[in-house]
Amino acid sequence: MTNLATTTEDLYPTRVAEEREVIERSQPTVWGTAESGPFTEAELQRHETRGYTILDDFVSAEEVRAFRAELDRLAADTALQGDPRLITERSTGAVRSVFEVEKLSEVLDALARSPEVLDRARQLLGSEVYLHQTRINYMPSFTGTGFYWHSDFETWHAEDGMPTPRAVSLSIALTDNYPFNGGLMVMPGSHRDFVPAVGATPDDNHKESLKAQEAGVPSHAAITALAEKHGIDQFTGAAGSALWFDSNIMHGSGNNITPYPRSNVFMVFNSVENALVEPFAASAPRPTHIANRDFTPLG
């Protein structure tokens, strides 16, 4: 059995010494077909082109209430104090994110395995899937800080050893997403451009990057070129709406100074044919609560 780490070619070199050309994505965005799941042909074509799909009323008001109750329960759970899965806001100490929620909440575990979710992830990725990462983002009111422009796949490739962008994220809004309360911005079509980042990954980078990302962030020049080429869309939607987005789409969110929190549950599905190997640009793999290494297909 050859050691995958040495034979998996690095198709997307990043965290390099100096600025490099954008790498054209060599993999599809949609791997399945209209026959293989709930997305229609038209929806799949738009997802292939834009790199994201918005589904209004993806979960019911009742489910939103149940997920919000879990969000509040986890944020208040004293047993989670000091747990590495709980990330606080640098400025206020307020809860910013909780990771690995499928292991902390039966309600959210059931959501990840529900046909509405699982069949769509399988269809987009054209294979069995497993959970690479899950988190709840609180984006609290008044002091919630956002996430600077980045590609998730750039981080997952560099720090988690994800070979190709054959992964998709689902973000379900648990509060109303307005344009003004730290809503997610995406550059439609940018998922087809891989932007190599400049600068080596610090050891234990995740200890800082989950509060504010420094390594792996594209340069102003790269962001400007990408924004000129693709434009910027803002994801707004009522609580219960869902955003499916490609692992490599350039996205970010602003701070939230309004009285309205912008909370969401975030689940990342990776193809079982894209299982993690050794990190491509980091000294050690990240902990499994951030990058799951149990590739058993989700059922």
CB atoms within 10 A of CB 23: 14
Q: Which two tokens stand for residue 297?
A: 């297909």
Interaction of residue 213 with ligand 6CS, rule CB under 6 A: yes
**Alpha-carbon gap, residue 265 to 179, rounded angstroms:** 18
Q: How far is the CB of 151 from Fe ion (least distance, A)?
A: 8
**Alpha-carbon gap, residue 142 to 221, rounded angstroms:** 31
Interaction of residue 152 with Fe ion, rule CB under 5 A: yes
**Alpha-carbon gap, residue 139 to 75, rounded angstroms:** 12
Helix H, strand E, coil C: the string for 60-71 is CHHHHHHHHHHH
Interaction of residue 246 with Fe ion, rule CB under 5 A: no
Q: How far is the CB of 131 from ligand 6CS (least distance, A)?
A: 12
Interaction of residue 150 with ligand 6CS, rule CB under 6 A: yes
Q: How far is the CB of 152 from Fe ion (least distance, A)?
A: 4
Answer with the entry of Fe ion, ligand 6CS, none that 209 interacts with (C-beta below 5 to 8 A by kind).
ligand 6CS
Answer with the entry of ligand 6CS, Fe ion, none that 133 interacts with (C-beta below 5 to 8 A by kind).
ligand 6CS
Distance of CA 184 to the CA centre of its chain: 11
**Alpha-carbon gap, residue 159 to 293, rounded angstroms:** 13
Of 138, 147, 194, 244, the residue at the interface with ligand 6CS (CB under 6 A) is: 147
Interaction of residue 155 with ligand 6CS, rule CB under 6 A: yes
CA proximity to 278, closest of 196, 179, 157: 157
Interaction of residue 270 with ligand 6CS, rule CB under 6 A: no
Positions in the binding site for Fe ion (CB under 5 A): 152
Positions in the binding site for ligand 6CS (CB under 6 A): 133, 135, 147, 150, 152, 155, 209, 213, 290
